[in-house]
C-alpha cells in the first residue's frame, strides 16, 4: 500500500508553517485558480553540499522544525511527537534530475523522504520507512489524484539507515526514472500513468524531510504502512543528507500555468523578457506535436512569489489529519503564549 507522503506530511508541517510563515504561505491550485507564477531555477545545474556548513542552506527554506548543519550533512531529527523537520528548494524546476545522497533515519515508523511536488499536486517520491532497513519505496501522483494506491514500488537497498546511498529521479515529459546508486530501478512511461492524466508534469519544488508515519495519532492505515507505531522514547531518530544535485531541463526564472489543464504543454517558461512554451521547446524529451506559438509576450511575472501548496485540502481524504493539525497548532500556539 502506498499513501501520498506529501499530503500526510503536509498536514503535519502545516501546523507549524501556519504559525511561522502565515504571510508567505499562500494556497493556490492552478487547476482551479489563477495563481502567481512559480519562481524557477534559471540555470541548468544547482548543487548543494550540506557538509560545508550553514551557507549550504541559502537556496533552501526550512518550512518546519530545525535542520542542523553537521559534518555528515544536513541533519533532520525527530525527538518528540510533532517533529517533522523539512526543507524545500526556494525555486521550481520543470523536468530535470534530482540526486539526493542520504542516510535514512532508524527506529519504527519514521519516514525519510525526498519529494518533488508541484502546485497542482503532481508528486514524485522516494520514501524510506525506518521499520524496513533493507528497502525504499518509489511513488508518484498526478494532480493530487489519490484514488488508487497501486502506484508505489518497493526497491531493495543495503542498510539504508547505516549507509549513504544516492537516490535519483530523472524526470522528462515522456518518462520518469528512479535511480538507486546509478542503477535504474523503475521507469514510468507517460502513457502508463492513466494515459498521461496521472503523469507528473508541472513545475516542482524539491522537499526533503522526515516525519513520523507511525505516530500513534495517525490513522490505522498509515501506521500499518509505516510498519508500526513510533516509540519516541527510543529516539531521537535522524536522517542525514550529504548533498543534492539538481539539473533543471528547462531553466527559466518563472513558470506560469497558462490554463487549468495541468498539462506540461500549458506551462510557459520565462526569463523576464523571453519566453518559451514547452510545446515548442526542444529540450524536452517528448515535445508535443502541435507547435504552439511561443511568441506570446511575457507577462511581468518574473518576480512572482512561489506559492506554497496549502492546497492539500483539495484531497478529500486529508480530513482525518486536519484534526491532528489543528490540535498541534493549538498546542504550539499555547506554548507561544506562555
Ligand X SMILES: *[C@@H]1O[C@H](CO)[C@@H](O)[C@H](O)[C@H]1NC(C)=O
- Exposure of 133 by Cβ count < 10 A (0-12 exposed, 13-18 middle, 19+ buried)? middle
- Exposure of 6 by Cβ count < 10 A (0-12 exposed, 13-18 middle, 19+ buried)? buried
Task: Tell me whether residue 127 is one of the annotated catalytic residues.
Answer: yes
Which of 41, 328 has the CB closer to ligand X? Answer: 41
Q: How far is the CB of 180 from ligand X (least distance, A)?
A: 11
| Contact call for residues 80 and 233 (beta carbons, < 8 A) | no
Q: Nearest to ligand X by Cβ — which residue?
A: 148
Taking the C-alpha atoms of residue 338 and residue 334, their distance in angstroms, rounded to an integer, is: 6
Which of 107, 209 has the CB closer to ligand X? Answer: 107
Q: How far is the CB of 216 from ligand X (least distance, A)?
A: 18
Which of 107, 213 has the CB closer to ligand X? Answer: 107
Q: How far is the CB of 332 from ligand X (least distance, A)?
A: 19
Which of 186, 338 has the CB closer to ligand X? Answer: 186
Which of 47, 331 has the CB closer to ligand X? Answer: 47
Which of 58, 334 has the CB closer to ligand X? Answer: 58
Q: How far is the CB of 334 from ligand X (least distance, A)?
A: 25
Which of 273, 334 has the CB closer to ligand X? Answer: 273
Q: Which of 88, 127, 137, 242 is catalytic?
A: 127
Q: Which of 117, 123, 161, 242 is catalytic?
A: 123
Question: Using CB under 6 A as the criterion, which residues of the chain lie in contact with ligand X when the complex forms?
Answer: 24, 27, 29, 32, 42-43, 61, 90, 106-107, 145, 147-148, 156, 194, 197-198, 251-252, 269-271, 274, 276, 305-306, 308, 311, 313-314
Q: How far is the CB of 231 from ligand X (least distance, A)?
A: 10
Q: How far is the CB of 330 from ligand X (least distance, A)?
A: 22
From 321, 121, 81, select the one nearest 205 (Cα to Cα).
121
Residues 6+ apart with CB under 8 A from 166: 99, 100, 101, 179, 180, 181, 182
Q: How far is the CB of 19 from ligand X (least distance, A)?
A: 14
Task: Tell me whether residue 117 is one of the annotated catalytic residues.
Answer: no
* Active site residues per annotation: 123, 127
Amino acid at each position: 500500500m502506498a499513501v501520498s507522503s506529501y499530503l500526510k506530511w503536509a498536514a503535519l508541517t502545516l501546523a507549524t508553517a501556519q504559525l511561522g510563515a502565515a504571510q508567505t504561505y499562500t494556497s493556490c491550485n492552478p487547476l482551479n485558480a489563477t495563481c502567481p507564477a512559480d519562481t524557477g531555477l534559471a540555470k541548468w545545474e544547482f548543487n548543494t553540499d550540506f557538509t560545508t556548513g550553514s551557507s549550504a542552506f541559502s537556496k533552501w527554506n526550512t518550512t518546519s522544525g530545525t535542520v542542523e548543519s553537521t559534518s555528515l550533512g544536513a541533519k533532520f531529527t525527530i525527538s518528540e511527537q510533532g517533529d517533522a523537520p523539512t526543507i524545500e528548494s526556494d525555486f521550481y524546476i520543470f523536468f530535470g534530475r534530482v540526486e539526493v545522497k542520504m542516510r535514512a533515519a532508524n527506529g519504527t515508523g519514521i519516514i525519510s523522504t525526498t519529494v518533488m511536488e508541484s502546485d497542482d499536486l503532481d508528486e514524485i517520491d522516494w520514501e524510506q520507512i525506518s521499520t524496513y532497513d533493507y528497502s525504499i519505496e518509489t511513488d508518484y501522483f498526478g494532480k493530487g489524484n489519490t484514488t488508487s494506491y497501486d502506484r508505489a514500488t518497493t526497491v531493495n537497498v543495503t542498510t539504508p539507515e547505516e549507509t549513504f546511498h544516492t537516490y535519483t529521479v530523472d524526470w522528462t515529459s515522456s518518462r520518469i526514472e528512479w535511480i538507486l546508486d546509478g542503477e535504474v530501478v523503475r521507469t514510468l512511461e507517460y502513457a502508463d500513468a492513466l494515459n498521461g492524466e496521472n503523469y507528473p508534469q508541472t513545475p516542482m519544488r524539491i522537499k526533503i524531510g522526515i516525519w513520523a508515519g507511525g505516530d500513534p495519532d495517525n490513522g490505522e492505515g498509515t501506521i500499518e504502512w509505516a510498519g508500526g507505531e513510533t516509540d519516541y522514547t527510543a529516539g531521537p531518530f535522524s536522517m542525514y543528507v550529504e548533498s543534492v544535485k539538481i539539473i533543471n531541463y528547462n531553466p527559466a526564472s518563472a513558470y506560469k500555468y497558462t490554463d487549468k489543464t495541468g498539462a506540461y504543454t500549458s506551462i510557459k517558461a520565462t526569463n523576464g523578457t523571453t519566453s518559451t512554451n514547452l510545446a515548442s521547446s526542444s529540450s524536452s524529451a517528448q515535445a508535443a506535436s502541435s507547435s504552439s506559438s511561443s511568441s506570446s509576450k511575457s507577462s511581468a511575472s518574473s518576480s512572482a512569489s512561489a506559492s506554497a501548496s496549502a492546497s492539500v485540502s483539495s484531497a478529500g481524504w486529508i480530513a482525518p489529519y486536519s484534526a491532528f493539525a489543528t490540535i498541534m497548532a493549538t498546542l504550539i500556539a499555547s506554548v507561544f503564549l506562555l
